[in-house]
Amino acid sequence: MTGGVPADGPIPVIAIDGPTASGKGTVAARVARTLGWSVLDSGALYRLSALAALRRGVSDTDDQALADIARGLDIQFLGDKVLLDNDDVTEQLRHEHIGEMASRIAPLQPLRDALLERQRAFRQPPGLVCDGRDMGTVVFPDATLKIFLIADVDARAQRRYNQLIEKGFSANLGDLLTDLKARDQRDQNRSVAPLKPAHDAVVVDSSNLGVDQTVDCILAHWRNRI
């Protein structure tokens, strides 16, 4: 048994989906560390595709070229660091304009198709915790536990603001709020893999929860599940 799962069953997956800045990434990494599992930040793959396209001068509407870029991405996840073509792009990936472009190219089906198998390849023993928008609906529909992590938009804007200031970036709370609302609209209303809870997802509202409490809540759901 690993993480409470029989060794001969399918490799377990905990899928954490939710809107931008809901804390999914931090929470997914902590849950994975506690269980000793791998982690997949699927948003990073969309951000990496956006960054690689910018570097190569590929337009954000050229869906075939973007799919080729996604298929050929030379990336490494080394602990908290992300390398693109052996270049440390960890900080750059978090820039607002990269998140913005990732959100604009994410609806393109050829790009999503190109990233699908790359994402599934992260499902390695003893288990995977992944976060994104369509982990429980499209990428891992057979995930053992599906969490839909929400938080109200003001709480998310404030968290994003605090993160940026902590890292020494300048930020404007009003602009962040406007940007988050626009991104929510785009992620929820696109026809391809829209942001929505899987029918069998557990909705967790973290508006009034700290990271530790959110992690504990997800681990409690996991223990109930097994």
Binding site for ligand DC (CB under 6 A): 20, 42-43, 46-47, 99, 102-103, 106, 132-134, 183, 187
Here the tokens at position 209 are: 């929860």
Three-state secondary structure call for residue 52 = helix
Q: Of the two residues 15 and 215, which places its CB atom closer to ligand DC in the complex?
A: 15
Here the tokens at position 153 are: 């938009």
Residues for the chain: how many in total?
226
Provide, rounded to whole angstroms, the least separation between the CB of residue 196 and ligand DC: 12
Q: Of the two residues 42 and 214, which places its CB atom closer to ligand DC in the complex?
A: 42
- Where in 144-186 does DSSP place strands (E)? 145-150
Provide, rounded to whole angstroms, the least separation between the CB of residue 223 and ligand DC: 26
Q: Of the two residues 2 and 90, which places its CB atom closer to ligand DC in the complex?
A: 90
**Could you check whether the bond before residue 194 is cis, i.e. omega within 30 degrees of 0?**
no
Provide, rounded to whole angstroms, the least separation between the CB of residue 40 and ligand DC: 9
Provide, rounded to whole angstroms, the least separation between the CB of residue 157 and ligand DC: 13
Q: Of the two residues 5 and 115, which places its CB atom closer to ligand DC in the complex?
A: 115
Provide, rounded to whole angstroms, the least separation between the CB of residue 136 and ligand DC: 10
Q: Of the two residues 62 and 184, which places its CB atom closer to ligand DC in the complex?
A: 184
Dihedral over Cα of 191, 123, 68, 182: its sign: positive
With a CB cutoff of 8 Å and minimum separation 6, the contacts of 75 are 45, 48, 82, 83, 84
Alpha helices by DSSP H, 5-150: 24-35, 42-56, 63-72, 90-93, 96-105, 109-120
